[in-house]
Amino acid sequence: MIDLIQQGFAAHFGGIASFYASPGRINLIGEHTDYNGGFVFPGAIDKGIVAAISLNGTNRVCAVAINMQNEYVEFGLEEADEPQPHWAKYIFGVCREIIKRGGKIGGFDTVFAGDVPDGAGMSSSAALESTFAYALNDLFSLGIDKFELAKIGQATEHNYVGVKCGIMDQFASLFGKAGNLMLLDCRSLEHKYYPFNPQGYKLVLLDTRVKHKLVDNPYNKRRESCERVAATIRLKHPEVEFLRDASLDMLEEVKSEISSEDYMRAKYVIEEVERVMTVCAALERGDYETVGQCMYGTHEGMSKLYEVSCPELDFLNDLARKYNVTGSRVMGGGFGGCTINLVKDELYDNFIAGAKAEYKAQFGKEDCKVYDVVISDGARRLD
């Protein structure tokens, strides 16, 4: 991929460029908890975005997206210059969010590509945001710390893409560490690295090839549900800032004051926060059976209470149970994408072969795609 980008940069712009990369991410447990002030357990992966970037001495950005048939976009750095192509809004948004914070940046030429499957739940968008946030911070010597770079990526999603996401994806892409998952408190941004090398198990993603699109769909409505319930509970319990602070008993107190739909959404989130902490304790004692049980619990909640699954994801989760997989669940925002599966080594080959064959037979299309997970480093400059 680097050779392809280098060739593309030479063809479009000539000269010498600096190379930057940021990864996509997996999340072992803790889905839809980040924007509720809760805990998540992500890790960076060995797939991401790579960009060649060179400052051009103007106030214009010239960008080529190799994965979009080498589409070329040029735009300025003022608010009125927002480009039309969806992918370019991420780069523009990062530039604007840096400028809003007082960062002095100028124009640049860039060619980029990625191997994070779009819409598969591995957060290709955060990888794109993090690549350019990290690169511009470095190239213009802005001195912005990585916490603020993560917030810049999140603000880009909110203000220029229309997805009211939490902070997890950008944080994982920037703070990833090879061989480690991260327990992240999404309210305080305190985090702890957990070595992750489960002996006797593999972590594997099965991609439904159903592409999720988080703009103009029920994702934002679920966030609104959670905020309504938190506000209702807060009237009785002022200490509750987010659903992360609430208990199931508190939720039951207000059940008659909220809609049945809002109740289901909140119940899932409160239970999911508890599952994250259960997994932390289980990992510290090497109890992967408990980790797996919590993963299945997350899928059940996301499917039945949060209602962000789809028939393809539910089918893969059922297959995991059939093949005695230790843990399986939908990963990411939902509405498509991947399941993440914790599989014993001796069951791996049989599970993968069976899942691919049965998925293709059930849905009459391509079999599910398989991605073995390698936990890798976060955003960086490439030498």
- Going by pLDDT thresholds of 50, 70 and 90, the confidence category of residue 260 is very high
How much is the pLDDT for 52? 98
Domain 201-372, architecture per CATH: 2-Layer Sandwich (3.30)
List the Cα angle 85/134/72 in 5-degree steps: 25
Mean pLDDT taken over the chain: 94
For 61, residues 6+ apart whose C-beta sits below 8 A from its C-beta are 74, 75, 76, 77, 91, 92, 95, 107, 108, 109, 110
- Going by pLDDT thresholds of 50, 70 and 90, the confidence category of residue 212 is low
**Count of CB atoms within 10 A of residue 265's CB?**
27
Taking CA atoms, 232 is separated from 146, 236, 273, in Å, by: 34, 8, 19
Q: Is the pLDDT of residue 247 over 60?
A: yes
How much is the pLDDT for 119? 65
**Which CATH code is given to the segment(s) 2-196+377-382?**
3.30.230.10
In one-letter notation, the amino acid at residue 196 is F
pTM of the predicted protein model: 0.86
Choose among 128, 97, 102: nearest CA to 114: 128
pLDDT digits (tens, 9 = 90+) for 35-92: 999 999 999 999 999 999 999 999 999 999 999 999 999 999 999 999 999 999 999 9
Cα–Cα distance, 19 to 208 (Å, whole number): 32
In one-letter notation, the amino acid at residue 93 is G
How much is the pLDDT for 211? 74
- Going by pLDDT thresholds of 50, 70 and 90, the confidence category of residue 113 is very high
**Count of CB atoms within 10 A of residue 121's CB?**
29
Ranked by mean pLDDT, which of 142-156, 185-199, 356-370 comes out on top? 142-156
Average pLDDT over residues 194-221: 81
Q: Are 5 and 19 in contact (CB under 8 A)?
A: yes
Q: Is the pLDDT of residue 116 over 90?
A: no
Q: Which of 4-13, 116-125, 212-221 has the lowest mean pLDDT?
A: 212-221
- From the candidates 34, 109, 169, 262, give the one annotated as an active-site residue: 169
Ranked by mean pLDDT, which of 110-119, 146-155, 186-195, 364-373 comes out on top? 146-155
Average pLDDT over residues 317-346: 93
pLDDT digits (tens, 9 = 90+) for 215-225: 456 778 999 99
Average pLDDT over residues 142-168: 94
Give the whole-number percent of the chain exceeding pLDDT 90: 85
Q: Are 325 and 342 in contact (CB under 8 A)?
A: yes
**Count of CB atoms within 10 A of residue 93's CB?**
23
Beta strand 369-372 pairing with 42-55: unpaired
How much is the pLDDT for 215? 47
pLDDT digits (tens, 9 = 90+) for 15-29: 999 999 999 999 999
Q: Which residues pair with 44 in a beta bridge?
A: 25
Handedness of CA 296, 271, 197, 189 (dihedral sign): positive
- Going by pLDDT thresholds of 50, 70 and 90, the confidence category of residue 364 is confident
- Going by pLDDT thresholds of 50, 70 and 90, the confidence category of residue 337 is confident
Average pLDDT over residues 198-210: 92
Choose among 25, 3, 19: nearest CA to 125: 25
Average pLDDT over residues 342-347: 97
Choose among 216, 200, 134: nearest CA to 170: 134
Average pLDDT over residues 268-285: 95
pLDDT digits (tens, 9 = 90+) for 366-383: 788 899 888 999 999 998
How much is the pLDDT for 213? 57
- 345 in catalytic set: no
- Going by pLDDT thresholds of 50, 70 and 90, the confidence category of residue 196 is confident
Q: Which residues pair with 381 in a beta bridge?
A: 20
In one-letter notation, the amino acid at residue 187 is R
Q: Could you tell me the residue ranges of all domains in the chain?
A: 2-196+377-382, 201-372
pLDDT digits (tens, 9 = 90+) for 122-140: 788 999 999 999 999 999 9
DSSP-based three-state secondary structure for 319: helix
